[in-house]
Structure 1
């Protein structure tokens, strides 16, 4: 019997933003989107808060900076949703016939004051989904507010069912459960974690979710920060090594990457029939869930 499940070419774009410069970072993102599409990618995934800086623990915990100046620059280089930045990404998606997932620092135009670590899913006709990170990690709470949790969903697209979480949300069992219930076929995992532990996390999720996982960590060098950056930087050349990878469902096999210590585009072809086969064996939110016993948790 003929199947309707497609093979989707995905691209994990590992690149440095133009630090605290929204316009230049957006132009770079659109150029990389075009580059990935030129390699046949239909789904293109960027790192956590690519627009226009991730407040990394590699430097953000150091004392002695001008907090107000950094906050003002971070606010100025953040994104309003909806807004012109989202519109320009959608225009590019329409021209290239792709879907784009990109991390942004999101600000609220109608109520200035808070920033959110947000994952946007944008298609040819506009915004498909916006997810605000549920719980900023440790020092991130100095920069980002907490998400409401009302956006934990899977989006049905022509490329399959797309869902996912941001960075260490992927370690949160109940957050994963919320997404798993939507039956994701491709799991988006932008992050700033370049550790071996993160690679173990995404391999586990591919097995648990029965989904392809597209992981895009940060790669960022000290050279990306200007001399006028308003916060002290450590004596290190690299603040994030990257590790972009694509992982197969069921087996947890890394089928592309990981890429370390460089900008680059990691591409893989994802046959979504594999997600059907994986879920036949183990469907965490379906036939294998036993939610009747395990949810809600017994007292």
Structure 2
């Protein structure tokens, strides 16, 4: 790594669902493999640690929840992590040993209030082993709202590194124009967009964000199959009739002018590698800088509430 180039690794894989150790083992193995191939930044998919329970209902119908679903929910809660906590300490040791920046999608437990709420989060760990920041998904999508709480403006995180500013948003919150603008306004250079969306339309979003923000965009998705689902889940019947491939992936890397640096990877696990030429960021902003010379602050203004949610203020 130098100030003008960075080698990135994008991991497309899936752990055993609800199995924290499986995820930690895969993070360890893939990070070491990526570091051996010169990676400076290693990115893992949305809720890789804790799992994306695609297809599961958790025993929920409109107006009711059943006992089996509550048992699966408890299992999901047990597979989540605290930030900071034992798992982030272990991941910090891994980052320090390998000398990489780690960005990992996790299921995070609330530590401050009831501990009964989970969040879809993205944690940033530096090569010094420290947690540099986190982002909690602002709006869980669709039935995800049964699983995760809403993040707030205090975690619209962008982090300074020797190779520029990194940050990002999770899955469909990337479709929120003002959330994207909050990233651009912080001078983001490498925009990380972990996702669970394997559709072709997601690729259009990545290329648009790259052109709009004049930044590199890294998207990371899981390649998951039914083999990664424990057969003893109470709600396993929810996916029994589904295809064997539950998520085909689609991880990709896009340049600041919207061209693929690495095209989407589908229907297999793997690690995408690329060496990014950061001079392309400056060059791309010559004719379009979304929060600079191409903005109109006299016409449009962005207001972001960065205050941390505090339930005690209402007590």
TM-score range, shorter chain: over 0.9
The Cα RMSD (Å) is 1.7
> Number of residue pairs matched?
292
For structure 1, which segment, 162-171 or 18-27, has the greater mean C-alpha deviation from structure 2 after superposition? 18-27
Report the 3-state secondary structure (helix = DSSP H, G, I; strand = E; otherwise coil) of the residue aligned with 1:104.
strand
Cα-to-partner distance string for 1:192-211 (whole Å, 9 max, x where unaligned): 00011000000001111111
For structure 1, the residue ranges without an aligned partner over 5 or more in a row are: none
> Aligned equivalents of 2:277 and 2:218: distance in 1?
14
Cα-to-partner distance string for 1:231-288 (whole Å, 9 max, x where unaligned): 12142101111011100002x1111131011110001111111011112221111111
Determine which of 147, 160, 184 is the counterpart of 2:151: 147
Structure 1 residues 291, 19: CA separation in 2 closer, same or farther (over 3 Å shift)? same
Matched-pair contact (CA < 8 Å) for 2:48–2:106: yes
Cα-to-partner distance string for 1:153-203 (whole Å, 9 max, x where unaligned): 311012321011000011100000111101111110100000110000000
Query: TM-score normalized by structure 1?
Result: 0.93
Cα-to-partner distance string for 1:3-47 (whole Å, 9 max, x where unaligned): x84211111100111211112211111111111111111101000
Determine which of 238, 244, 249 is the counterpart of 2:256: 249
Q: Which residue of 1 aligns with 2:188?
A: 184
Report the 3-state secondary structure (helix = DSSP H, G, I; strand = E; otherwise coil) of the residue aligned with 1:198.
helix
Q: Which residue of 2 aligns with 1:170?
A: 174
Does 2:126 align with 1:120?
Answer: no
Does 2:45 align with 1:16?
Answer: no
Matched-pair contact (CA < 8 Å) for 1:55–1:140: no
Q: How does 1:123-134 map to 2 (within 5 A)?
A: 123-125=126-128, 126-134=130-138
Matched-pair contact (CA < 8 Å) for 1:244–1:258: yes
What's the CA shift for 1:55?
2.8
> Aligned equivalents of 1:220 and 1:175: distance in 2?
28
Q: Which residue of 2 aligns with 1:202?
A: 206
For structure 2, the residue ranges without an aligned partner over 5 or more in a row are: 304-315
> Aligned equivalents of 1:129 and 1:278: distance in 2?
28
Q: Which residue of 2 aligns with 1:283?
A: 289
Matched-pair contact (CA < 8 Å) for 1:18–1:52: no
